[in-house]
A and B are shown apart, each in its own frame.
Chain A
Amino acid sequence: MQLLEVKNLEVSFALRQGDLVALNDISFSLGKKERLGVVGESGAGKSVTGFAVINLISKPGKITNGEILFEGKRLDTLSEKEMRTIRGNRISMIFQDPMMTLNPVLTIGTQMVETLQAHRKISQKEAEAVAVKKLERVHIPSPARRLSQYPHEFSGGMRQRIIIAIALLTDPSIIIADEPTTALDVTIQAEIMDLLQELCNSEDMGLMLITHDLGVVAEVTERVLVMYAGKIIETAKTSDLVSNPLHPYTRGLMNALPGHGTCDTANRLQQIPGTMPNLTEIAPGCSFHPRCEHCQDICSSEVPQLRKISGNDSRFVSCHFAEEGWQNG
């Protein structure tokens, strides 16, 4: 049984202009120790996917279709009270900006003890002992002394590690990391990613890594979902996707990565022309077709289905021409 299974998930936001479908027919699964990447531009629905899993989509949004199974149990139908026993306990989430996610007026000890006490019947002393152990786990030096310090006394990288430690407190099965390193510099980013990877293995956790950085995805994850305008447009093993992206959008994303060691102006960074459409005005047919350089007539009339690519069981692409050899031309 998979740890997490999401089937045909649809999330929409009831706006004045009508319903806005933010997630459309999203299906994926996550196993133990598995590291799954979710990539896409801003507004593609990556974070909404993360929040949908823990059923914390802010109003006016709501899950309108599909199901979310955690260890075989439906999450989307749970009451708020039942959901609280899962959220932060069995599934933890880490956010982008470590400067903002810790409460500035409470010591980290208070915040850690509070998290534990929200989920377990545990004394202050015991909770502190657990907190110290978890801080050690994320390589914070002299953790016992650190408990009485406030967030502003830590550097950005340390704060993010503290946040990871808080996420680990209750020994969750899944960690959802929503752009955990975007606000940090590159060396710290590598440290945090190594740490997450290491924890995944040692604690038997599933990791869902939401990011817009394909470099990070290539390094850390085993499987990847590429999202565009609320849909999954390509999913594959990370190695396959990186070596041979099939969807033109994925290819565009790959081309937009700075190469290593190249500095000549002739080899300028390629970009995908245009921006992602507003979700209220998605063109008919393939949602990517207005920006696609290989656009044909069929692209603007028929919605491509997410289909298996022959010869590779783990690979799905939603493009009419995925099998064709255009990627070489």
Chain B
Amino acid sequence: MQTKRQKIKDSYLLYSFRRDKVAIVSATILALFLFAALFAPMLAPYDPYDVTSIDIMDAEIPPSWMEGGESRFFLGTDIMGRDLLSTMLYGLRISVAIGIGAVFLQAFIGIAIGLASGYLGGRVDAVLMRIADVQLSFSTLMVAIIVSAIVQVAFGVGRYEQIAVPLLIVIIGIAEWPQYARTVRASVLGEKNKEYVEAARVIGLDSKRIMFSHILPNTLSPVLVISTVQVANAVMSEAALSFLGLGMPVSMPSIGSLINAGFEYIFSGAWWITFFPAMLLIVFILVINLLGDWLRDVLNPKLYKG
């Protein structure tokens, strides 16, 4: 497999990555974050879900370098006395899981619908795209607010905690699939009149085969680019929902719900509870978007950097 390795080594992707400092830094930070999120249970000094280890007496301890800070809690504690660093690591884990899960769902629905819509055309196209338009005319937040309010009432707040993660994935996934459907449809429309598609038809392949193994691979580069942006969007949507109190419950906080929880105490001086999670969120979204920009430039050589 020496050749394959060599191929990767020689590829344009890697070449341009190496020459782009922004991309390298972003990728490093993102890798660090993902690593931290994945191994949060091992890295975090405390387990924020373990009620027995939390002492309310530790509440609102400032970061360790400040006056009144304790070396036990590097970034201080929140209002319940949880170690903020640990809670943030666990929160990042939840945010990332929701973001990636939602994007997979969006991509799955959006690609299937976009492909069918673009390839089959005619009435199918018209109906599917109108559905997408209708979906887009509801904002993500509105869908989320309605659905999670109903679910919270239906299942009760206690049960809600258990289904919050998959529920948020479904909500954000369903709210944003038209982005994928439109992007994929546009590229399918460009691809389907190319001669190789006609050639595939002449060879005697059926439509399903042509759609999935011939057209789809040719539409993947814009999909890849919007995927990065969509992960960032999904994480932000989740944070926004949680900030509004409709996302993750405080007992199992994501980054967004941490920001929300700390926000009430910002005027009483406990600024760190909101500040550190907010910084984490900003940096996380920023590096994903920077990487997305880089990817877009690489995959679309016609776009020059201004």
Contacts and interface: CB of A to CB of B under 8 A. Distances in A.
Interface of A: 54, 56, 84-89, 92-93, 95-97, 100-106, 114-115, 118-119, 163, 166
B203 interface: yes
Closest 10 pairs (CB-CB, A-B): A88-B204, A88-B203, A100-B195, A101-B199, A87-B204, A105-B217, A93-B202, A84-B204, A103-B196, A101-B195
Given A103-B214, A105-B218, A106-B217, A89 B204 contact: yes
A301 B213 CA distance: 54
B286 interface: no
Contact of A103 (B201, B204, B206, B218): B218
A103 B205 CA distance: 13
B232 to A, nearest CB: 27
Contacts, number: 62
Contact of A115 (B198, B203, B217): B203
A84 B206 CA distance: 8
Interface of B: 194-196, 198-206, 209, 213-214, 217-218
A101 to B, nearest CB: 4
Contacts of B194: 100
Contacts of B201: 56, 87
B214 A87 contact: no
Given A115-B203, A118-B204, A118-B209, 12 more contacts: A56-B201, A56-B202, A88-B205, A93-B202, A101-B195, A101-B196, A102-B196, A102-B199, A103-B196, A104-B218, A106-B213, A118-B205
Contacts of A89: 204
Contacts of A86: 204
A92 B200 CA distance: 11
21 contacts: A56-B201, A56-B202, A84-B204, A86-B204, A87-B202, A87-B203, A88-B205, A95-B195, A101-B198, A103-B200, A103-B214, A103-B218, A104-B218, A105-B218, A106-B213, A106-B214, A114-B205, A118-B204, A118-B206, A119-B204, A163-B199
A92 B196 CA distance: 14
Contact of B203 (A100, A105, A106, A118): A118
Contacts of A102: 196, 199
Contacts of A118: 203-206, 209
B192 to A, nearest CB: 11
A119 B195 CA distance: 21
A264 B202 CA distance: 46
A59 to B, nearest CB: 9
Contacts of A106: 213-214, 217
Nearest to A99: B195
A100 B196 contact: yes
B195 A92 contact: no
A93 B206 CA distance: 16
Residue from B196, B201, B203 having most chain A Cβ neighbours under 10 A: B203
A100 B204 CA distance: 18
Nearest to A151: B196
A32 B245 CA distance: 77
Given A97-B195, A100-B195, A104-B218, A54 B203 contact: no
Nearest to A50: B202
Residue from B196, B200, B214 having most chain A Cβ neighbours under 10 A: B196
Contacts of B205: 84, 88, 114-115, 118
Contacts of A114: 205, 209, 213
Nearest to A58: B198
A224 B52 CA distance: 92
A89 B198 CA distance: 15
Contacts of A105: 217-218
Nearest to A85: B204
Contacts of A96: 195
A87 B202 CA distance: 6
Contacts of B206: 84, 118
A86 B203 CA distance: 9
Given A100-B196, A102-B196, A88 B217 contact: no
Residue from A100, A101, A102, A166 having most chain B Cβ neighbours under 10 A: A101
Contacts of A84: 204-206
A155 to B, nearest CB: 18
A146 B195 CA distance: 22
A54 B198 CA distance: 12
Nearest to A97: B195
A97 B196 CA distance: 10
A193 to B, nearest CB: 20
A106 B206 CA distance: 17
A166 B198 CA distance: 14
A79 to B, nearest CB: 12
A106 B209 CA distance: 13
A149 to B, nearest CB: 11
Contacts of B217: 103, 105-106
Nearest to B195: A100
Contacts of B202: 54, 56, 87-88, 92-93, 95
Given A103-B218, A106-B214, A118-B209, A95 B204 contact: no
Nearest to B197: A103
B196 A104 contact: yes
B203 A166 contact: yes
B129 to A, nearest CB: 19
A87 B210 CA distance: 15
A95 B198 contact: yes
B199 A95 contact: yes
Contacts of A93: 199, 202
Contacts of A115: 203-205
